[in-house]
Amino acid sequence: MIKVLIVDDSPLVRQLLTHLLSDTADIQVVGSAEDPYEARELIKKLHPDVLTLDIEMPKMDGIAFLRNLMKLKPMPVIMISTLTEKGAAVTLEALAIGAVDFILKPKSDLTNKLMDYREELIDKIRFAFKSKIRPYTSIPKPIQAKDKMSYLQNQIIAIGASTGGTEAIQRVICQLPTDLPPIVIAQHIPAAFSASFAKRLNNNAGMTVIEAKGGEQLKYGTAYLAPGDAHLIVEKKGMSLYTKLLDSEPVNRHKPSVDVLFDSVAHSVGKAALGIILTGMGKDGAKGLLNMKNQGSFTLAQDEASSVVWGMPGAAVEINASSEVLHIDRIPPKILSLLKVKKKH
């Protein structure tokens, strides 16, 4: 039985979350708290397995409470987030501090989508319960290329991730030099959050990171993040590669889908591409990574020990889609060793 404690200042939200979880055989809501001080006492008394935590609360905000919790008693936490720019920035900070995942705050007009919301909430609690909680460790310094590299034309790095992915992607990107071939990224994230995530990556990484708008020619030293409400694909026109956004149905319940991105890279780039699948729940990206490998791409999967949830990388390993399985901090040097460099004449 997974014991859940709900921490939220809204009585309505506490009541709704409790109701949504009430008929689940393997989940029990053991209590609810309206502020972090009450939550602290209930954690000592009830020993919950998973916490749902509102970001904006009186007396102490969710971020300050999460910081203390991760120092004193690390445990799986799912943030309850608002769909705003401020909510996005704070949620990404919470994930950096150690929260496993987030879910959007339920709205009162959710009636016809309530069952979908319930399913998502239950999935996230189950995965949080099985996830690895680890103390935050600083990102290693960027790898310095020995001298200015000159890479072959139309090489590309494609990265896909879900749960735990915002931190995993940042960890990889921030260790890479600035002049690499273009990087394309599909991360499962809501539309209101993707611009904030791109901005956060851009502020912390050496390279330029932007949210793809569609139609950009892929440039060296730039990473392109799929927006949270569209599939990102790579298209070849003439001798160049371009981004394209598709407003089609979700694939594997996701939009953007990692499979959609990887399949396009396999088709447009083939063996000049490098595919990387990072932490995340579900199987999105596994078949696409296999498609890339079958087209001659070298493919990497994050290992179980360094993944928050080894769903997507595990699914890729299961179907033999990854050429190699590596700890997150071994992926950046491996990327550099795999990139083809122009020979000096």
| Catalytic (active-site) positions | 162, 188, 284
DSSP strand pairing (231-237 vs 240-246): antiparallel
Residues in contact with 175: Cβ distance below 8 Å, sequence separation at least 6, in sequence order: 139, 140, 141, 142, 143, 329, 332
Report CA 114 to chain centroid distance, whole Å: 24
Residue with tokens 């990484």: 205
**Per-residue buried b or exposed e for 60-79, using 16+ beta carbons within 10 Å of the residue's own CB:** eebbebbeebbeeeebbbbb
Of the CA atoms within 13 Å of residue 232, those in its CB half-sphere come to: 31
Please report, for the chain, how many H helices and E strands are present, in that order.
11, 14
Q: Would you put residue 282 in left (φ > 0), alpha (ψ -120 to 50) or beta?
A: left
Q: Are 60 and 40 in contact (CB under 8 A)?
A: no
